[in-house]
């Protein structure tokens, strides 16, 4: 099937919810991808921070193959070892409480919202409210969507769920003002990803933690993009001045397979009871086996140190390029702010032609999310390609 045939098939049968780039990928290995015409690409996008251990990591492939050949699915009405072991691994590496598995990040956020609302009802709050920062992205199911201020403005999809409000990013005073008697939770990303990589500053994080302490609300950190080693520690909150009550994870957790999780501390882990929540597929044996293999790779101090060091090298290289105004983020989660007048979308398309995949979340921002397993040669190559592209796109 040619690319044109594939595009025609896609256009006829798939809902038009995505605008795809004109490339068909057929193979991946480590940091590299190959398209249907044999062209090689350096992947600094990783399926939006999913393939953090690189494409087709042998340990993940082996774990998936072994588990798929033995047992794939029995539902959550029975015990399976991979799920229980994964829950232990996630809880013990973070908040020490309990885990609810889901099939995606947005579903993990739904679980967190349920915990927050039920926790609030127990405190006598009839109409609980969840506070987020403007620019946050928490997902596309209705609860998570309602907590995503920009997307929640889409009236064609309304009405949104009631009980959500937002304050300007990093405005600690506005956050303190917004959190009150009705607040069930503060739900924020430690680093805003979809918005273009904007870290939450320490004052705002501390304000969120303190406001939650004072009101009894829960602090929920959405670590769907920042977690699983992306910022150079297993969880991004470990490089901040707060510890959440609940965190959500997904994306990189399954190494390419769909899985999410809502992880709590001991107290929040006691909120949901039988019948409150569920999922047919979640925590299935195959995805759980994959996630355990991913954690074996990522939860390694040497690899996490490499993430921080290569992230710093990538940042330094980018800052040395003409056309780069600033580099935001931490570890290997970097947003490249371009000089005014440069068109990030055009540069993203040009980089694709040159064999480098990057994401363009905003008109003047490139988002770089390479595999955590890359090496310094990949960093050098990406910086060189971006430099060439900036030069060529800024020429009159």
Partner 1 sequence: MSPKELPSRPRPLATSAAERIAVIIEATEKAAASVIDDAEEQASRYLDEARAEADRIVAERLRAVADELDPPASGARQAPHLKPVESPQPDEAPKSAAAQRSRNGSAGARLLATQMAVSGSSREEIEARLRSGFEIEDAAGILDAILGPED
Q: Which residue numbers are catalytic?
A: 137, 222, 251
Closer Cβ to partner 1, 234 or 368, answer by number: 234
Closer Cβ to partner 1, 247 or 358, answer by number: 247
CB of 233 to partner 1, least distance (A): 4
Q: In sequence order, which residues have a C-beta less than 8 Å from that of residue 349 and are 6 or more positions away?
A: 21
Q: Over the range 350-368, which residues count as b (16 or more CB within 10 Å of their CB) and which as e?
A: bbbeebbbbbbbbebbbbb
Q: In sequence order, which residues have a C-beta less than 8 Å from that of residue 120 and are 6 or more positions away?
A: 128, 182, 183, 184, 185, 217
Closer Cβ to partner 1, 234 or 321, answer by number: 234
- Site residues for partner 1 per CB under 8 A: 96, 201-203, 205-206, 209-210, 213-214, 232-235, 237-243, 266, 270, 301, 304-305, 308
Of 351, 395, 345, 390, which is closest to residue 370 (Cα–Cα)?
A: 351
Provide the CA 317 distance to its chain's centre, in angstroms: 24
Of 35, 129, 68, 19, which is closest to residue 352 (Cα–Cα)?
A: 35
- How many Å apart are CA 289 and CA 282, to the nearest integer? 12
Q: Is the dihedral of CA 91, 220, 46, 282 positive or negative?
A: positive
CB of 100 to partner 1, least distance (A): 18
Closer Cβ to partner 1, 63 or 310, answer by number: 310
- Beta strand 218-222 with 246-249: parallel, antiparallel or unpaired? parallel
CB of 228 to partner 1, least distance (A): 13
CB of 207 to partner 1, least distance (A): 8
């Amino acid at each position: 099937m040619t690319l044109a045939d594939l595009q025609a098939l896609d256009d006829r049968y798939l809902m038009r919810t995505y605008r795809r780039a004109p490339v068909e990928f057929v193979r991946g290995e480590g940091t590299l991808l190959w398209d249907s015409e044999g062209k090689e690409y350096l992947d600094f996008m990783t399926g939006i921070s999913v393939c953090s251990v690189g494409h087709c990591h042998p340990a993940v492939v082996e774990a998936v193959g072994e588990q798929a050949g033995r047992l794939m699915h029995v539902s959550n009405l029975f015990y399976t070892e991979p799920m229980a072991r994964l829950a232990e691994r996630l809880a013990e590496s973070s908040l020490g409480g309990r885990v609810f598995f889901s099939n995606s990040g947005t579903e993990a956020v739904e679980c967190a919202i349920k915990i927050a609302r039920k926790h609030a009802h127990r405190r006598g709050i009839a109409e609980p409210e969840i506070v987020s920062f403007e620019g946050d992205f928490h997902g596309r199911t209705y609860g998570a969507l309602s907590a995503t201020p920009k997307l929640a403005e889409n009236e064609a999809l309304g009405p949104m769920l009631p009980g959500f409000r937002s304050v300007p990013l990093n405005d600690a005073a506005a956050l303190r003002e917004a959190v009150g008697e009705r607040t069930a939770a503060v739900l924020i990303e430690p680093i805003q990803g979809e918005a273009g990589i904007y870290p939450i500053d320490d004052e705002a994080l501390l304000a969120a933690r303190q406001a939650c302490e004072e009101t009894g609300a829960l602090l929920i950190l959405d670590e769907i993009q920042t977690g699983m080693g992306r910022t150079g520690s297993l969880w991004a909150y470990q490089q901040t001045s707060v510890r959440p009550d609940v965190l959500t994870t997904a994306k990189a957790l399954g190494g390419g397979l769909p899985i999410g999780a809502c992880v709590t501390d001991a107290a929040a882990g006691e909120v949901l009871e039988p019948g409150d929540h569920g999922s047919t597929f979640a925590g299935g044996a195959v995805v759980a086996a994959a996630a355990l293999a991913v954690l074996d790779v990522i939860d390694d101090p040497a690899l996490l140190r490499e993430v921080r060091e290569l992230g710093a090298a990538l940042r330094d290289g980018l800052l040395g390029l003409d056309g780069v105004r600033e580099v935001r983020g931490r570890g290997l989660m970097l947003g490249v702010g371009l000089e005014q007048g440069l068109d990030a979308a055009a540069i993203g398309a040009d980089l694709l032609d040159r064999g480098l995949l990057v994401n363009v979340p905003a008109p003047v921002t490139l988002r770089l999310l390479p595999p955590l397993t890359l090496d310094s040669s990949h960093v050098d190559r990406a910086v060189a390609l971006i430099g060439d592209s900036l030069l060529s796109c800024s020429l009159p």
